[in-house]
Amino acid sequence: MAIYAISDLHLSLSADKPMDVFGEMWKDHHLKIMENWNSKVGSDDLVLVAGDISWAMKLEDAYKDLEFIHNLNGKKVFIKGNHDYWWSSITKINSLFEDMYFIQNTHYAYNDYAICGTRGWINLESTDDEHDVKVHKRELIRLRMSLDSAVKTGLSKIIVMMHYPPVTKIAVNQEFVDLLKEYKVEKVVYGHIHYDARYICENGLIDGIEYICTSCDIINFNPVRIL
């Protein structure tokens, strides 16, 4: 059994929003994802999907995109991205597919690991906007709740998914990093950054935590084995 990760799928199977406007590499990208995913992921494996799952605005419009992922191999765990406007009642979306779990203030147990996470937010060093400050604080609370839920069940090996990177080569979102250190998180998978900005991605160990960028176009639409 293995754990893989991928993010920023940006699916639009029920809408006319072709991703190749962002470059030729995005042409029929869902087919690339399907081929790569099913060639390496087994039925007992787990895939972490770190946000920006579907372009849909409503859950009913996202159904085809979610069904597409459901039909891929393995179990799947998700967090919300900044474009996942369809993400509605967590109870409702968690009732859609047996092999898919959506994290919100909770965790997912896989063998002796806890998968925790939240969307995260932009670094407040770049803004003092009242809305950004409010969202940033709320996301910190959600991450702590997710981590607490794992610790209370006795799980100490923790992998965190965040959509926004807590660290890059140009900035550190210190409050999130401090929280990750407090709970002795082993690995953090993140997305949000795309190919043209790939040079700012941090991949590797920093202060004992391994950071892994999993944005589709950076990893060539090929899920990364992280464990």
pLDDT at 19: 66
pLDDT at 128: 80
pLDDT at 25: 85
Q: Look-up: residue for tokens 């799947």?
A: 76
pLDDT at 22: 63
Q: Look-up: residue for tokens 């950054």?
A: 193
Residues paired with residue 76 on neighbouring β-strands, in sequence order: 47, 100
29: phi then psi, degrees, rounded to nearest 5: -65, -25
Q: Which residues of the chain have pLDDT under 50?
A: none
pLDDT at 21: 58
pLDDT at 101: 98
Pick the CATH number of 3-225 from 3.60.21.10, 3.40.50.2300, 3.40.950.10, 3.40.50.300: 3.60.21.10
Residues in the chain: 227
Closest CA to 109 of 53, 46, 51: 46
